Amino acid sequence: MVSDNELVDRLREFLSTSDLNITTNSDVRRKLEKDFNIDLSDRKVFIREQIDLYLESHYQVNQENENNEEEMEEESDQGPSAEVKSEVSEEDPEEVEEEEEPEEEEEEESEAVAKVKRRSSKKKPAKKNETGKRKAGGFTKLCSLSPQLQKITGVAELARTEVVKRMWHYINENDLKNPSDKRIINCDDTLRELFGVDTIGMFEMNKALTKHIWPLDSDGVSTITTSGSVNSTANKKRRKQEEDEDSDEPKKEEKQKNSGMHAPLRLSNALINFLGTGESELSRPNVVKRIWEYIKQNGLQDPSDERQIISDETLKELFHVETHRGIGVTKLLSTHFIKAEG
């Protein structure tokens, strides 16, 4: 008889080398059945839960890696003294965790994250350019900002990830979250000029920001003139680039639709209401990402143990629990994904 630990180890090993866009739960189960030469039909639920745990730990590690990369970029901009200071002051999170003595179940869950971390750390580092910095690309690439957005960020060019950080800093600094529903942002005059509405949902904000974030041309020249109008030549480039990006998005979505771990699932009414975007279908990783965004932006992690989440009224209404472990978000979400009939 194959033990749960053997199944979990093989499952994680398989997922770590698989394309999650096309790999399904059935693929994983069939792979395990082949490897161990047994029938696992009666353990479908267990396998699905372990896949969910892997996906959540995979997301958390990716988030940590992104944050670390951003911090390293900021430190390199500040000079070597900042790097030295950082090295001296930082503690190894793994060493801190080893000092604690969590319960058995927590140890297993922490091990899931640790294994993904170890595999992630084995990946080759990003290529560096001549100056020694990691070449910026994707969401870390500098972009031009609209005049309205510049009023909040204070600069004309910024990476998308940094724009979102500064937006939340502005919102928190000016106490613009709706006290009765922290998913809602009450717009002041500056945000009203930016978004054109009196209130906006936190999950709608990123989409609304896209029209205010423009790519720089290949020479790093801003597509915005000093007067705030868009340069006609640069505008054509920008529009073409946006069209290319927009045309790529449907292809990516079509490729991922109804396939793998990123297949869209029908959402419960409670989850639709929580997200507030009107979307009735989303992939499991996408929903997990948004839940974590809500948790982090509203400071719901227990300061004494960040693995523990303390529900506010809105999260309590969704999950019906006062507290839960962060690694258990996917399990709590399971009742909010509705299986298609037939």
Per-residue model confidence as pLDDT tens for the chain (342 residues): 789 889 999 998 998 888 777 788 888 999 999 999 999 999 988 888 788 778 777 666 555 555 555 555 555 555 544 444 444 444 444 444 444 444 444 455 555 555 555 555 555 454 444 444 444 454 568 899 999 999 999 999 998 888 988 999 999 999 999 998 999 999 999 999 999 999 999 989 988 998 999 988 655 555 444 444 445 455 555 555 555 544 444 555 455 445 677 889 999 999 999 999 899 999 888 898 899 889 989 999 999 998 899 999 999 999 999 999 887 888 899 899 987 654
* Cα Rg of the chain, angstroms: 22
Binning the chain into helix, strand and coil, the percentages to the nearest 5 are: 60, 15, 25
**Is there a contact between 324 and 309 (Cβ–Cβ < 8 Å)?**
yes
| 238 plus 267 within the same structural domain | no
Element (H, E) at 281: strand 281-283
Q: What's the domain count of the chain?
A: 3
Domain boundary among 49, 79, 109: 79
Q: Where would I find the H helices in 227-297?
A: 232-256, 269-275, 284-297
Q: What is the pLDDT of residue 120?
A: 52
Q: Domain limits at 293? A: 260-338
What is d(CA 11, CA 55) in angstroms, rounded to the nearest whole number? 12
129: in domain: no
| 231 plus 312 within the same structural domain | no
Start-to-end CA distance of the chain, whole Å, equals 33
CA nearest to 21, candidates 252, 244, 248, 247: 252
96: in domain: no
The three-class DSSP label of residue 309 is strand
| 142 plus 241 within the same structural domain | yes
CA nearest to 317, candidates 267, 266, 273: 273
What is d(CA 80, CA 82) in angstroms, rounded to the nearest whole number? 5
CA 250 to chain centre: 20
> Which pTM value belongs to this model?
0.57
